[in-house]
Structure 1
Amino acid sequence: MTLPQVEDHMIQSLQEIPAPYSTPHVRRQIDDLLAEVAEAVAPVWPLKDYVAVNPYSGISSRSFLAGRSFLRLVSDCETLMPIEYYAAQYEQEQFTEENIELAITELELNSTVTASSIVQAILIGQTKSEPRQRLVRTMAEIVDAYASENWSKKIGDEISKVCAAHYDDGQAVWQSPWKGLPLFQAWRSMAIIDRNPEASGLENFRAFVAKMPHTADAAIIWLLKELDVPESLWKSFLLCQAFSNLGWSAWTNYQSQWTDAEAADHNDFVGLLAIRLAYDVAVSKNFGIQVDWNSICQNESASFDASIETETTYRYVLLRASEIAFREQLLGSLSTDSSEQDSTQETFAQMVFCIDVRSERIRCQLESQSAGIETFGFAGFFGMPIEFVPMGQTCGDSHVPVLLEPQFQLHEGLHGASAEAEKHSLKQRTDARSRRSLWKHFQTSAVGCFSFVETLGLFYGWKLIANSVGWNFGKTSSKFDGVPAHEHDHLKPTLRSLKCQGVTVSDQVDLCESMLTNLGLIGKFSKIVVFCGHASQTENNPLAAGLDCGACGGHSGEPNARLAALLLNQSDVREGLASRGISIPEETHFLAGLHNTATDQLTFFDLDDVPASHEQELAQLIVHANAAACQTGSERAKTTAGESLSNLMRKATDWSEVRPEWGLAGNAAFVAGPRSMTKSANLEGRSFLHSYDHKTDPDGTVLEMIMTAPMVVAHWINMQYYASTVDNDHFGSGTKTVHNVVGRFGILSGNSGDLMIGLPWQSLHTGHELQHLPMRLQSVIAAPRDAVDRVIKKHELLGNLVDNGWLHLIVIEDGIQYRYGGDHWQVLGEKQLAA
């Protein structure tokens, strides 16, 4: 594309960083400052890999309340529910005055507030949230407040337009001509020829942009000097800029830190800061805004020294009281009798599920169907760090937690098919997908969409009606494109490509040994062992990946489960495990399964490979699985008034359904211990369950893995649900009914504004009341306290979470429950500290 010529007077030579800031030492300080700003903003993953993220991860080095103060210094973000919410909870007897008293004691606020004063205040409505004037604001916000303008929205829309075009992943018909450049350079190239800001009222904006330095970091310093911002306020002011467009800040942070080396080198997060700051400076100059920076510096320092206002203290105590009430209910339901841990019950089937809270209900129902079924909880990728490549593709999706990298590719193929048959299926698949792509392009093209509706729209009437009521007769998944119906069961992961990738038998044994050891399944194998991954089923849902397995990077756990079973059925892998002390009986057969979390149906794979000697046990398992699925669906239907089991099934195929399932709403606890501890408890689908027996982990290696990986992932999920509920405007994504996909990677609310980063309101609220009650995760671990202490001291990030009140930790040791208190452990139910 030929770009428009820029007027000569707009072309400026590269501006150098001001001399006082050009020395290597000072440049490093500036780089560190920009890194600190980036650290405060949590990333957001693209829609195809959408996973839960803790939006507070960058401020966890501060205490919970200090983190709130930090956020509210530079933004309008909130971390506490309004006091009216807690008042309603108290009136509904969700917690008691005794819980409030205990909360005050645990928070060491006895000299500050009393339970009776809080109760009196919430009952008579004495405390109301008072409007506040945030200390650090953008120039646009100042102009909006005093000149009745709307520049914050205008700037946000401009930034959204630029970012949407720059990061488009094939949705737009016309691509940005500057797509290969770093974001700042792309914006600058566009801005010096774009008349839109000037038409909106920013005089000489193109000339102003042309004068700016060509690199983002240099531009930031230049712009800060243009505003005369004192260096002591640079960090706060840049944070204010970042939080004014939190969604795009999160996206560019993901690009800079979680994609590839080229994106990291571009550092688009810093580029976005420079862009946002450029608009701010232009607005300031246009309106002649003068800021008393010295006053802000003094007030910023004083704001951290001032005591927390009474209303905030009340809300924090009430949050803790609600958490204590849940903690008492949770711990009261757990069995702490160590004599129950060693079960001698013979089982014919063992089933390993993801720790996901949705697995807890169906595990209970399976065990209630037969004493011969034993269940386990483990991270849903089952220790298989793969990139799953569907048949006919050269690359695929990462089926690992987002904090990890895949170690090898797992390719899909037609098991037992000839090379000629597989080649034919590949051609059929390519042709089918090409036709679908062309047809979709015609439907959505600028010209074709009109003629399509005029000529063929009527014929789609029946399809529209069927989709709207959840009728999907004859609809097959695109995963079977090109594969004949009689071959569907033969489309599966294969081990054919492992050898050429250098994945030896020894490597495969390593994977299996690590998985079985961390699971605690190193003996007493049943005749059938099932690895049961999970995935959701939903239509017309851009956030569908958020309902799939988070441990698989927002994808189905099916490939991981099938690989785990496939490896453990290999004789050479079993021989390798036996040489390392894990002997699997010859009669044990491993299966893969999938839990559909929308319908609770259980599907088993590769049944043709099950030995004839196992037919009776397999038949029993299938009968029990079907019954457990029905019971789980019925139990889940009761959680929402007016629901029915048939309605839950319909939702999975209804493209107009905004609540196909509740996902992980309600999550509030993480429990790591033997199944005997939780088996008799009704945990109501609110707990992550990880199998663990400290008796088989003398050196604490497995404990360390659990506390630093699955427990942290559960905390991330919990914090995303918490933040999306407490402050949906900033950390959620509004209502699904006005969502629009942008660039195939994200969503907007409507057709403009900031990128949405969190959960929609329909994932949290029934329409009448909250489905998710916001509280911080209670982590319960059955292990010696000294072993837990060693893990906390070894890992600073974990220490920040538990020491600063972002995550609650309880240990059960010798049947006694202890609460982690930083430098001590307190016996729950007593006020004396445990030795």
Structure 2
Amino acid sequence: MSIAQPAEFHVADAPVFVTPRIVRKIDDVLSKVAGVVSPVWPLRDYVAVNPYAGLSAQSFLAARESMRSYSDCELLMPLKHYAAEFHKGNFSVADIRVAIGEVAAAGVVSQYTAEELADQLNTIGPCGVHFDDSLSPTNGDRVVRTIAELATKTGCADWQEVIIDDISKHCAAYYDQGQAKWSRPNLGQSLYESWRDSAQDDLNVEILGLSGFRQFVRGLPSTPQEAIGAMLQALAIPESLWSRFLLCQAFSVPGWSAWTKYQSSWAGGGDGEGPDFNSLLAIRMAYDVALAKLQDVCVDWVDLFDGVSPEHFPAGDASQDDIDVRYTLLQASEIGYRNRLLNSLVMNEEASRNTDTDRKLAQMVFCIDVRSERIRRQLETVSDKVETFGFAGFFGMPIEYVPLGAKSGVPHLPVLLKPKFKLREGLHETDTPIETQAIADRHRIRSWKQMWKGFQTSAVGCFTFVETTGLMYGLKLLRRALGLSGQQGDARFDGVAVQDREHIGPTLRGLNQQGITTSVQADLAEAMLRNLGLTENFAKLVVFCGHGSQTDNNPLAAGLDCGACGGHSGQPNARFAAMLLNQPYIRSVLSDRGIDIPEDTWFVAGLHNTTTDSITFYDQAEVPSHRALEIGCLTDICDTASEQTRLERMPVVASSSVSDLLKRASDWSEVRPEWGLAGNAAFVVAPRSVTQHANLDARSFLHSYDHRQDPHGSVLEAIMTAPMVVAHWINMQYYASTVDNRYFGSGNKTVHNVVGQFGILSGNGGDLMTGLPWQSLHTGSDFQHLPQRLLVVIAAPRESIGRVIAKHQPVADLLHGGWLHLMSIEDGKVYRYTMDGVWESTSSKKKDTHSI
């Protein structure tokens, strides 16, 4: 690295990229940089996201090397983590031996034997990994750095921290969604324009030591693209380095980069490389160029890289030997889990076939979410009259659910999809005047709440408010702190009389006007049943059981709700699906299409509360009298199964009693109300009989599928390109937040502060937080989530699976790049899909009876 005194330059006077070639070059570079960054959704719709999605065309290790060349991001756990897992018996010397052979496909040639690696692990001992260890270590040998980092290394102030705080201040004000008392000026401007206007008057940066910053900002070009081009040339950065340098800029503020990527690609409906993301890059670069100009920091880029091309920059301070060892041990830990999982499954297709010909009391359809595994297992244990299925928790209903009296709602489907229509909430079995009055009461109540909140926080009212009501609120605060106040009122019932609350729910009103005719509704119902594999042998009751969580004082609550419903409860989807299939005209159309539903079958909607493990049924007033007895019987079965599930979960959440476990749902001081999807490790696509007798320990996504009902492979294709990808996203979010909480997590939950009603900061400044907090991954003494790449097990012919892989390049990239593992169960044998696209026969080990 060479840092010298620069010749004087002015960004405003720098040559602007006016030639068509330079314009195309800048556009191409910005598009590539945006493609690497993954978005983060707002708190209202918070869902797990794969932080590495933009790098999935590369192999796992190539992506790590690339990221380490421009950031401190880490994709592998430290060696002591694998040592701890080895000492716990989660993988063995035999697993290491197999791993050495398997990683050879990734070009990793081990310098050690399995026994030698085991000796290394024994030398380290069973020490665990703590919070600070999960923060990505400083990558001391990284070549591409921001000017702020270089300036800090020369002994200047910590400009990186100053810059991030200043950017956060501007971004928080710009994107505020009603939290701030004063709205920002200059509405309608882009992020870059708003910052440029504000920064010309803001003395903060100059007070902290960067004199002349306001004058510098006045000289910047008026658009972010022009500013980026001018600043790249002002810094004399070679064109071959533009992409890496801009990635370094983006990853110096990873949280706001993710947020502006969301604004550009999802909120705005663009392709990711839009005004918000480009604005942030221009803003971040402006601080660097100002530092270079005003603090006399100059980099000789040619000398710095000494002729090394950007594609071959060193990845950082870890030796290749260390990387290979850790990657091999990651594979070994995954092999250990793989063996235990496969040993627990019923492989023989005929043996796994359900031979029970008696009609079931109920068929219950749950989300594929790993938390459904426990309750499904307990239901089937309590009663052999209950059969369970796994399906995407939005039940194939692509809705935007509009609450009572609202004009717009929130999407209740995977975030990768867009809603097809609006489903409006209303009051069933009530007169129109009652609903009209409820809407009016709701508006009045919420307007009053807003006014009261405004008075409480106003400059004039806050002092007198505290003086007048402080004691009363002190008692309320004490009750909540002691957990004596119970669950707070549900805003969903604002304005709705108590006797009418059981009638509030989705309606079919307005669907025809949106083009969702009865024929389209029948299409939705048919697609759901066929993709589920439920087209015959219907039970007396068919229950669509969505899921949702119940927590208090939790900004990241949406992350515990249904990911398939966009971070919301699956209740509206379940109720709408049941409503459709109870319509006589829908059943008539389905009968014409080969799906005969018995007249005495009734579809019911339910909700699995994943925090308390209770199951609630909806719209029971509409259940026919001849099915009332069965509903009562099923309710008793569910209550018993819920009790058994809570007993099983008690040690997992460290609860001393069932009442303590239930209290977590309303305890506003509880940082671990439930574990969410922590521990997820596998995605099993098979008939329920394959997994029914295994305790999978809530670590597996379970999707029902019978290849014998799918001769053309269309259902398998849908599963591998949608639910499998979503499960992979979730798995990678948990993986990334565990191995690198600094870049892809949200730190310590106890110091979170909500910013702008859309995101969180750690404390009162710093970068926007993304990903999962440490308390969602670690018990405080050990990991609840073990970072492993998703293992996909599909009970289907290899030929059918291969056709899907060949047809969909993104799926092929995930498999050939080592981002997930794939196994096929065919004719009672198990096959592994290798990174070079070959199926290898494998044999399971001796039966292992402990849970997965």
TM-score range, shorter chain: over 0.9
Task: Give the secondary-structure state (helix, strand or coil) at the position aligned to 1:357.
Answer: coil
Relative to 1, partners in 2 of residues 1:266 and 1:787: Cα closer, same or farther, differing over 3 Å? closer
CA distance in 2, matches of 1:510, 1:28: 45
User: Quick one: which amino acid aligns to residue 38 of structure 2?
Assistant: A
| TM-fit CA distance, 1:770 | 1.0
| TM-fit CA distance, 1:287 | 2.1
TM-score, normalised to structure 1's length? 0.95
Q: Which is further off, 516-525 or 188-197?
A: 188-197
Q: Is 1:177 paired with 2:185? A: yes
| TM-fit CA distance, 1:444 | 2.2
Relative to 1, partners in 2 of residues 1:804 and 1:416: Cα closer, same or farther, differing over 3 Å? same
State the partner residue of 2:849. Answer: none
CA distance in 1, matches of 2:492, 2:573: 16
Candidates 355, 370, 374, aligned match of 1:343:
355
Q: Which is further off, 27-36 or 464-473?
A: 464-473
State the partner residue of 2:338. Answer: 327
| TM-fit CA distance, 1:641 | 4.2
Task: Give the secondary-structure state (helix, strand or coil) at the position aligned to 2:364.
Answer: strand
| TM-fit CA distance, 1:786 | 1.1
Candidates 670, 688, 694, aligned match of 1:681:
694
Q: Is the 8 A contact 2:412 2:568 kept in 1?
A: yes
Relative to 1, partners in 2 of residues 1:498 and 1:197: Cα closer, same or farther, differing over 3 Å? same
State the partner residue of 1:702. Answer: 715
| TM-fit CA distance, 1:817 | 0.7
Task: Give the secondary-structure state (helix, strand or coil) at the position aligned to 2:313.
Answer: helix
Pairing 1:525-564 to 2, within 5 Å after superposition: 525-564=538-577
User: Quick one: which amino acid aligns to residue 696 of structure 1?
Assistant: Q
Pairing 1:247-396 to 2, within 5 Å after superposition: 247-261=255-269, 267-297=275-305, 298-299=307-308, 300-303=310-313, 309-339=320-350, 340-346=352-358, 347-396=360-409
User: Quick one: which amino acid aligns to residue 30 of structure 1?
Assistant: I
Q: Is 1:755 paired with 2:768? A: yes
State the partner residue of 1:57. Answer: 53
| TM-fit CA distance, 1:427 | 1.2
Relative to 1, partners in 2 of residues 1:280 and 1:524: Cα closer, same or farther, differing over 3 Å? same
Q: Is the 8 A contact 1:388 1:410 kept in 2?
A: yes
Aligned length: 818
State the partner residue of 1:471. Answer: 484
Candidates 634, 639, 645, aligned match of 2:647:
634
User: Quick one: which amino acid aligns to residue 196 of structure 2?
Assistant: R
Candidates 110, 122, 146, aligned match of 1:138:
146
Q: Is the 8 A contact 1:42 1:250 kept in 2?
A: yes
User: Quick one: which amino acid aligns to residue 253 of structure 1?
Assistant: K
CA distance in 2, matches of 1:444, 1:736: 25
Q: Is 1:118 paired with 2:122? A: no
| TM-fit CA distance, 1:25 | 4.0
CA distance in 1, matches of 2:278, 2:562: 32
Q: Which is further off, 124-133 or 420-429?
A: 124-133
CA distance in 1, matches of 2:643, 2:481: 25
Deviations 1:510-552 (A, max 9, x none): 0001110100001111110000000000001100000000000
Relative to 1, partners in 2 of residues 1:474 and 1:688: Cα closer, same or farther, differing over 3 Å? closer
Deviations 1:149-204 (A, max 9, x none): 11000000010001000000011011111232111111111112222222221121
Q: Is 1:106 paired with 2:107? A: no
Unaligned runs of 5+ residues in structure 1 are 1-12
Q: Is 1:95 paired with 2:91? A: yes
Deviations 1:609-643 (A, max 9, x none): 11111122111100000001111111011224454
CA distance in 2, matches of 1:16, 1:139: 20
User: Quick one: which amino acid aligns to residue 738 of structure 2?
Assistant: T
Q: Is the 8 A contact 2:261 2:273 kept in 1?
A: no
CA distance in 2, matches of 1:594, 1:466: 29
Q: Is 1:455 paired with 2:465? A: no
State the partner residue of 2:5. Answer: none
Task: Give the secondary-structure state (helix, strand or coil) at the position aligned to 2:702.
Answer: strand
| TM-fit CA distance, 1:132 | 3.1
Candidates 497, 508, 511, aligned match of 1:498:
511
User: Quick one: which amino acid aligns to residue 193 of structure 2?
Assistant: Q
Relative to 1, partners in 2 of residues 1:640 and 1:543: Cα closer, same or farther, differing over 3 Å? closer
Task: Give the secondary-structure state (helix, strand or coil) at the position aligned to 1:375.
Answer: strand
CA distance in 1, matches of 2:272, 2:844: 51
Task: Give the secondary-structure state (helix, strand or coil) at the position aligned to 1:753.
Answer: strand
Which structure would you say has the larger RCO, counting Cα contacts within 8 Å and 6 or more residues apart? 2
Relative to 1, partners in 2 of residues 1:446 and 1:315: Cα closer, same or farther, differing over 3 Å? farther
State the partner residue of 2:3. Answer: none
CA distance in 2, matches of 1:69, 1:473: 50
CA distance in 1, matches of 2:356, 2:270: 56
Candidates 66, 71, 87, aligned match of 2:67:
71
Q: Is the 8 A contact 1:182 1:266 kept in 2?
A: no
Q: Is the 8 A contact 2:72 2:138 kept in 1?
A: no
CA distance in 1, matches of 2:654, 2:796: 39
Task: Give the secondary-structure state (helix, strand or coil) at the position aligned to 1:239.
Answer: helix
CA distance in 2, matches of 1:263, 1:377: 33
Task: Give the secondary-structure state (helix, strand or coil) at the position aligned to 2:111.
Answer: coil
User: Quick one: which amino acid aligns to residue 353 of structure 2?
Assistant: Q
State the partner residue of 1:397. Answer: 410
TM-score, normalised to structure 2's length? 0.93
Q: Is the 8 A contact 1:593 1:602 kept in 2?
A: yes
Q: Identity of counterpart residues, as a percentage?
A: 54
Q: Is the 8 A contact 1:167 1:179 kept in 2?
A: no
Relative to 1, partners in 2 of residues 1:185 and 1:110: Cα closer, same or farther, differing over 3 Å? closer
Relative to 1, partners in 2 of residues 1:266 and 1:451: Cα closer, same or farther, differing over 3 Å? farther
Deviations 1:417-467 (A, max 9, x none): 111111111111111111111112222223322222221011023321222
Relative to 1, partners in 2 of residues 1:367 and 1:474: Cα closer, same or farther, differing over 3 Å? closer
State the partner residue of 2:850. Answer: none
State the partner residue of 1:85. Answer: 81
User: Quick one: which amino acid aligns to residue 297 of structure 2?
Assistant: I
CA distance in 2, matches of 1:401, 1:276: 32
Q: Is the 8 A contact 1:82 1:315 kept in 2?
A: yes
| TM-fit CA distance, 1:125 | 4.1
CA distance in 2, matches of 1:308, 1:459: 62
Relative to 1, partners in 2 of residues 1:261 and 1:830: Cα closer, same or farther, differing over 3 Å? closer
State the partner residue of 1:659. Answer: 672
Relative to 1, partners in 2 of residues 1:591 and 1:399: Cα closer, same or farther, differing over 3 Å? same
State the partner residue of 1:745. Answer: 758
CA distance in 2, matches of 1:785, 1:703: 12
State the partner residue of 1:434. Answer: 447
Candidates 822, 828, 832, aligned match of 2:842:
828
CA distance in 2, matches of 1:69, 1:305: 5
Q: Is the 8 A contact 1:535 1:595 kept in 2?
A: yes
Deviations 1:376-417 (A, max 9, x none): 000000000000011110100000100111111111111111
Q: Is the 8 A contact 2:142 2:315 kept in 1?
A: no
CA distance in 1, matches of 2:482, 2:604: 35
State the partner residue of 1:617. Answer: 630
User: Quick one: which amino acid aligns to residue 123 of structure 2?
Assistant: I
Q: Is the 8 A contact 2:678 2:734 kept in 1?
A: yes
Task: Give the secondary-structure state (helix, strand or coil) at the position aligned to 1:107.
Answer: helix
| TM-fit CA distance, 1:27 | 1.7
State the partner residue of 1:597. Answer: 610
Q: Is the 8 A contact 1:345 1:372 kept in 2?
A: no
Task: Give the secondary-structure state (helix, strand or coil) at the position aligned to 2:246.
Answer: helix
CA distance in 1, matches of 2:827, 2:303: 57
The two structures, once aligned, show a CA RMSD in angstroms of 2.1
User: Quick one: which amino acid aligns to residue 777 of structure 2?
Assistant: L
CA distance in 2, matches of 1:576, 1:595: 31
Q: Is the 8 A contact 2:72 2:139 kept in 1?
A: no
Task: Give the secondary-structure state (helix, strand or coil) at the position aligned to 2:329.
Answer: helix
User: Quick one: which amino acid aligns to residue 303 of structure 1?
Assistant: F
Unaligned runs of 5+ residues in structure 2 are 1-9, 128-132, 846-852
